[in-house]
Amino acid sequence: MTLPSEGELFKKILGAEWSRLHPDIQARFDKNPLPGKPLNYRGELSELTCSKLGRVLGYFTMPMIQGALMPYNDAHFPVDIQVYSKENCPSIFKQRIYRLNGRKSVQFTSYMQESSKGEVLEYVGMGLGMKLVLDVRDGNLHFESDGYFWEVFGLRIPLPGLFTPGKTFLCHRNNNANQFDIRIDIRHPLFGTTFTQAGVFREVAA
Distance CA 201, CA 146 (A): 26
For the stretch 187-196, what's the b/e string if a residue is b when 16 or more beta carbons lie within 10 angstroms of its beta carbon? ebeeeebbbb
Q: What pLDDT is attached to residue 18? A: 97
Share of the chain above pLDDT 70, in %: 98
3-state class of 26 per DSSP? helix
pTM of the complete model: 0.95
Write the single-letter amino acid at 80.
D
Tell me the pLDDT tens digit for each residue of 20-71.
Answer: 999 999 999 998 898 999 999 999 999 999 999 999 999 999 998 989 999 9
Q: Tell me the C-alpha distance between 160 and 138, whole Å.
A: 32
Q: What is the pLDDT of residue 109?
A: 97
d(CA 31, CA 72): 33
| Residue count (the chain) | 206
Q: What is the pLDDT of residues 159-176, one digit of tens each?
A: 999 999 999 999 999 999
Q: In angstroms, rounded to a whole number, what is the distance separating the alpha carbons of residues 131 and 117?
A: 11
Mean pLDDT of 163-192: 97
Residue 180 scores a pLDDT above 90: yes
Alpha carbon of 90 to those of 5, 27, 93, 149, 184: distances in Å?
9, 21, 10, 20, 25
